[in-house]
């Protein structure tokens, strides 16, 4: 199913469009990955040592992939940092998978906390599935990561973090409002991302 091109990003664009763009940018996958790694890192030890492990993992799972995408945008290899064009997603996602594997090796060799290791394994599993699906269909990475983060927060910190789930729906709305995804692509992304994150994290930790 084809998707209409997004509305122009102008100051006279509808308020809903500008709000959707803000939500998409603030809750970008790279940002959410860093946040959840720091949160789980803290929980894993209850000290700033855990945050340090989270930062190490975030470097390979979030910062390196995001920097690679930004560099590609500046060099004209992809149209934008959200990778709206499906055929442009394979290389950045493959590089992200490779970077996550390096992060996993560092955690194993340096003796990182089990919880952080479990989270990175869950991220790796989600990336592999997303990479496979992307070859045929433009699944929403935004909602996949957001749902995964919401599931991990619930498993780690308990029911007090259920507020994160409505945010997944809000992020899905923003992707559809910007015409970057169909409703089906955001829903499937959320279901796949949430299920993989919850199941793998639970099994590994």
Give domain limits for the chain.
Answer: 15-204
Does residue 1 carry a pLDDT above 80?
no
Q: What is the per-residue pLDDT for 12?
A: 57
Q: What is the per-residue pLDDT for 82?
A: 84
Q: What is the per-residue pLDDT for 159?
A: 96
pTM: 0.87
Does residue 10 carry a pLDDT above 70?
no
Average pLDDT over residues 7-11: 50
Average pLDDT over residues 87-98: 90
User: What DSSP letter does each residue of the chain carry, written as one string?
Assistant: ---PPPPP--TTS-HHHHHHHHHHHHT-HHHHHHHHHHHHHHHHHSSHHHHHHHHHHHIIIIIHHHHHHHHHHHTTSSS-TT--SGGGSHHHHHHHHHHHHHHHHHHHHHT--HHHHHHHHHHHHHHHHHHHHHTTS---HHHHHHHHHHHHHHHHH-GGGTTHHHHHHHHHHHHHHTTSS-HHHHHHHHHHHHHHHHHHHHHH-
Average pLDDT over residues 180-190: 96
Does residue 2 carry a pLDDT above 50?
no
Q: What is the per-residue pLDDT for 104?
A: 96
Question: pLDDT tens digits for 25-67?
Answer: 999 999 999 999 999 999 999 999 999 999 999 999 999 999 9
Q: What is the per-residue pLDDT for 18?
A: 94
């Amino acid at each position: 199913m084809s998707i209409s091109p997004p509305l122009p990003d102008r100051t006279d664009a509808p308020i809903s469009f500008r709000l959707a763009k803000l939500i998409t940018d603030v809750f970008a996958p790279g940002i959410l990955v860093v946040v959840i790694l720091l949160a789980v890192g803290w929980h894993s030890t209850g000290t700033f040592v855990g945050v340090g492990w989270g930062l190490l993992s975030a470097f390979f799972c979030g910062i390196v992939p995001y920097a690679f995408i930004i560099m590609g945008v500046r060099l004209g290899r992809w149209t934008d940092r959200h990778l709206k064009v499906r055929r442009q997603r394979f290389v950045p996602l493959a590089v992200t998978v490779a970077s996550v594997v390096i992060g996993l090796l560092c955690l194993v060799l340096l003796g990182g906390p089990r919880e952080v290791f479990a989270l990175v394994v869950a991220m790796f599993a989600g990336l592999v599935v997303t990479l496979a699906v992307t070859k045929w269909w433009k699944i929403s990475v935004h909602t996949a990561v957001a749902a995964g983060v919401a599931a991990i927060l619930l498993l780690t910190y308990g029911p007090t973090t259920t507020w994160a789930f409505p945010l997944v729906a809000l992020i899905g709305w923003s992707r559809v409002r910007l015409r970057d995804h169909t409703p089906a692509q955001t829903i499937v992304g959320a279901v796949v991302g949430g299920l993989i994150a919850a199941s793998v994290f639970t099994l590994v930790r």
